[in-house]
Structure 1
Amino acid sequence: MIGKLKGIVDEIGEDHCIIDVGGVGYVAHCSARTLTALEGVGTVVTLFIETYVREDMIRLYGFRSALEREWFRLLQNNVQGVGAKVALSVLSTLSPAELANAIALKDAAMVARAPGVGRKVAERIVTELKSKAPAYAGEAAQTIGLKQDLGENAAPAPVADAVSALANLGYSRDMAANAVAAALKTAGEGADAGTLIRLGLKELAR
């Protein structure tokens, strides 16, 4: 079983790349984000690999981070109707942090932006992975609790009102929640909505 490849990028295709490891070219099917992150043919790269073995084939899926690979596994193992193709589409559209945030906020519309992911599948993703998102939030870990409260309508009224106000100004709920989370650190837990909105706007203007 192959878990990681380190070699030279030999080819970059629409949905795959070929990594030359000691003269052997390995075809790795990748998300668009992973392919875009490659620095070009001839450069050295390390990919975290998920190996699929079937009766008629062996297929490798490559990812730039172990966290992205974990999400690839989570999506398929925990959500009905999600296979490798749909999982790659989701990870092509959303980073692990963005996906964790969308799940915490119950933002099925964000997940449904991925090509080939319908509303019903997106809703299953945010429902079935709700309890798992915090453990795989990556860089979003610091604000995931607040976003889950918002998704469950359990956040304090000033926080919910501030996020709603910023979202009404055209910011995504994820951006609004991040800004309010930063504002809370400055103003404290007892801050009113007006203060959180003002400080949140300063964060968003940076």
Structure 2
Amino acid sequence: MSSRTMLGKASTLVGAAAALTIAASGIATASTTISPAAATPVTATSSGLSFVTTGGLELYCTSVSGSGTTPAAPGNVNSGTGGININIASVGLSGCDLEGVPATITTSGSWALNVNADSGSPMGSIKIPNGGAHVVAGSCVIDVTASTAGPVPYNNTTHTVTANNTGTVNFTSNGGSASCPAAGAGTAKMTGALKFNSTPGITVTP
């Protein structure tokens, strides 16, 4: 065997070993930590949240609120992928209208903010449980089914998740009026900023 062939094979082996090392390092860094490492009360607020359906109809709420608690140690650390859920209970949406028609929204179940740093940067997703919201606007009735809106960047300075025409919110509608989504299953995109108030503020790191 020539020295050139041996050198080529050696280079290939070294390259493969390096690739495996890089891949293993990438897997190892996929983790999430929420600080502070304590059960911290959180209040979630929004000054405006809109859901625009695939048909172009908008459900808009001027105020959103909710409360929850961050998981205490060791639950504030996930050494694998998938991030950490902060459960948000007693979610309230008020000042709502569907295409100008006043809307009443009743929420149920435990909503959650999932935060993760799997990519190295903090991200957040809003998780809505099946049957998480019941909307009545005139003769229009909409039920929100299991949905995850995001992931979108989580800002460690302002402690906000900002959704901009992102994520998918699933629902079913009775199609009761011209300002109501078509009867049956549909989807909507969410836009708005959801702020998480706590002392100290929540930070998300790898």
TM norm. shorter chain > 0.5 = no
TM-score normalized with structure 2 length: 0.25
More helix by share: 1
Greater Cα radius of gyration, structure 1 or 2: 2
More strand by share: 2
